[in-house]
A and B are shown apart, each in its own frame.
Chain A
Amino acid sequence: MFEEASEVFDNMFKSSFPLTLTFIVFLPAVLILVSPLPAEAAHEFTVYRMQQYDLQGQNYGSRNAILNTEARTVEAEVLSRRCVMMRLADFSYEKYQKALRQSAGAVVIILPKNMSTMPQDIVQQFMELEPELLATETIVPVYFAMEDDELLSIYTQTQVSSSSQGSSSAAEVLLHSATANGFQMVTSGAQSKAVSDWAITSLEGRLAGVGGEDLPTIVVVAHYDSFGVAPWLSYGADSNGSGVAVLLELARLFSRLYSHKRTQAGYNLLFFLSGGGKFNYQGTKRWLEDNLDHTESSLLQDNVAFVLCLDTLGNGDGLHLHVSKPPKEGSPQHALLKELQMVVSEQYPDVKFSMVHKKINLADDTLAWEHERFGIRRLPAFTLSHLESHRSAARNSIMDMRPHVDLKKLSRNTKLIAEALARVIYNLTEKQVQEEQLASLVDWLTTQPRAAQLVDKDSTVVSTLEYYLGRYLKDVKRHFVRADKRDPEFVFYDQLKQTMNAYRVKPAIFDLLLALCIAAYLGVVYLAVQVRGHSHYAHYAQILMPGSDYMFFSFMVVTVRLGNEVHALIFKRWRWDGRPAYVSQNTTSSSRPSLIRTCEGRFPESDIILKQLKTQSLLTAAHLTLDSHGAGWHGNVYTKWFTTCHFGSDYL
Chain B
Amino acid sequence: MTLFHFGNCFALAYFPYFITYKCSGLSEYNAFWRCVQAGATYLFVQLCKMLFLATFFPTWEGGAGVYDFVGEFMKATVDMADLLGLHLVMSRNAGKGEYKIMVAAMGWATAELVMSRCIPLWVGARGIEFDWKYIQMSFDSNISLVHYIAMAAVVWMFTRYDLPKSFRLPVTVLLGLCVYKAFLMELFVHVFLLGSWTALLVKAVLTGAISLCSLFLFITLVHSN
Task: Report A's interface with B, CB cutoff 8 A.
Answer: 29, 32, 35, 37-38, 40-42, 181, 184, 186, 503-506, 508, 511, 514-515, 518-519, 521-522, 525-526, 529-530, 533, 539, 549-550, 552, 554, 573, 575-576, 578, 629, 643-644
Contacts and interface: CB of A to CB of B under 8 A. Distances in A.
B28 A522 contact: no
Interface stretch (B19-27, B74-82, B84-92, B152-160): B19-27
A511 B30 contact: no
B183 interface: no
B77 to A, nearest CB: 33
A629 B30 contact: yes
A38 to B, nearest CB: 6
Given A184-B128, A504-B131, A533-B24, A643 B30 contact: yes
B36 to A, nearest CB: 10
Nearest to A521: B12
B135 interface: yes
B162 interface: no
Contacts of A40: 124, 127, 129
B25 A575 contact: yes
Interface in B15-39: 15-16, 19-20, 23-25, 28-30
B198 to A, nearest CB: 18
Contacts of A573: 28
B30 A506 contact: no
B23 A578 contact: yes
26 contacts: A29-B122, A37-B127, A40-B124, A181-B130, A186-B128, A503-B130, A505-B129, A506-B5, A506-B130, A511-B4, A514-B8, A518-B8, A519-B11, A521-B12, A525-B19, A529-B19, A529-B23, A533-B25, A550-B96, A554-B29, A573-B28, A576-B25, A578-B23, A578-B25, A643-B28, A643-B30
Contact of A522 (B4, B15, B95, B128): B15
A533 B98 CA distance: 12
B4 A38 contact: no
A95 to B, nearest CB: 27
Contacts of A629: 30
Contacts of B119: 32
With most chain A CB atoms within 10 A of its CB, the pick from B15, B30, B124, B131 is B30
A573 B124 CA distance: 42
Contact of A533 (B1, B15, B23, B219): B23
Interface in B130-167: 130-131, 135, 142
A35 B142 CA distance: 28
A505 B130 contact: yes
A149 B123 CA distance: 29
Given A40-B127, A504-B130, A526 B5 contact: no
Contacts of A550: 96
Given A511-B1, A529-B19, 20 more contacts: A29-B122, A32-B123, A40-B124, A181-B130, A503-B128, A503-B130, A505-B130, A508-B4, A511-B2, A511-B5, A525-B15, A525-B16, A525-B142, A533-B23, A533-B25, A539-B219, A549-B225, A552-B29, A552-B99, A578-B25
The 5 closest A-B pairs by CB, nearest first: A503-B128, A503-B129, A529-B23, A554-B28, A518-B12
A573 B29 CA distance: 11
B181 interface: no
A209 B128 CA distance: 68
Nearest to A32: B122
Residue in B4, B12, B99, B142 whose Cβ sees the most chain A Cβ within 10 Å:
B12
A29 B29 CA distance: 29
A41 B96 contact: no
A529 B122 CA distance: 28
A508 B2 CA distance: 9
Nearest to B13: A518
Contacts of B117: none
Contacts of B126: 37
Nearest to A531: B23
A515 B8 contact: yes
Nearest to A28: B118
Contacts of A518: 8, 11-12
Contact of B128 (A32, A505, A554, A578): A505
B218 to A, nearest CB: 10
A504 B128 CA distance: 8
Given A505-B1, A573-B28, A522 B127 contact: no
Contacts of B128: 37, 184, 186, 503, 505
A575 B28 contact: yes
Contacts of A539: 219
B23 A522 contact: no
A522 B10 CA distance: 12
Nearest to B32: A17
Contacts of A578: 23, 25
Contacts of A35: 123
Contacts of B99: 552
Contacts of B24: 529, 533
Nearest to B128: A503
A652 to B, nearest CB: 17
Contacts of A525: 15-16, 19, 142
Contacts of B123: 32, 35, 37-38
A508 B4 CA distance: 9
A586 B224 CA distance: 40
Nearest to A505: B130
A560 B151 CA distance: 47
A514 B19 contact: no
Nearest to B2: A511
A634 B62 CA distance: 70
Contacts of B124: 40
